[in-house]
Amino acid sequence: MRSEFIGMDVEIQSLGCGNFCGAIVDESKNTLTIRKDSREITVPKSSSEFLFTYQGESVLIHGSEIQYRPEDRIKKIR
């Protein structure tokens, strides 16, 4: 959770947007923007779960756990 998310592939499990996979292209305090095919979809962190594959391991993260500005998230989460 302390690494940079932009550029990572992720599977989204969201109440509002459904389930899909894509690459993260932007992050704010409350949202992640995901590129799926040729579209960009903004997904709220608070009501979503994100399945990241990091260093060969799958990690499921609840959006409320990462609901910080990107620069603050990297500092706060240990």
14-52 per-residue burial string, b: 16 or more CB within 10 A, e: under 16: beebeeeebebeebeeebbbbeeeeeebebebeebbbeb
Residue 77 has pLDDT above 60, yes or no: no
Residues of the chain with pLDDT > 90: what percent? 50
How confident is the model over 14-52, as pLDDT tens digits? 777 778 999 999 999 999 999 999 999 999 998 899 999
pLDDT of residue 56: 84
* pLDDT at position 4: 85
2, 73 contact by CB (below 8 A) = yes
The overall average pLDDT reported for the chain is 87
Task: With residue 20 as reference, give the H or E element that holds it.
Answer: strand 18-27
Statement: the pTM of the whole predicted model exceeds 0.85: no
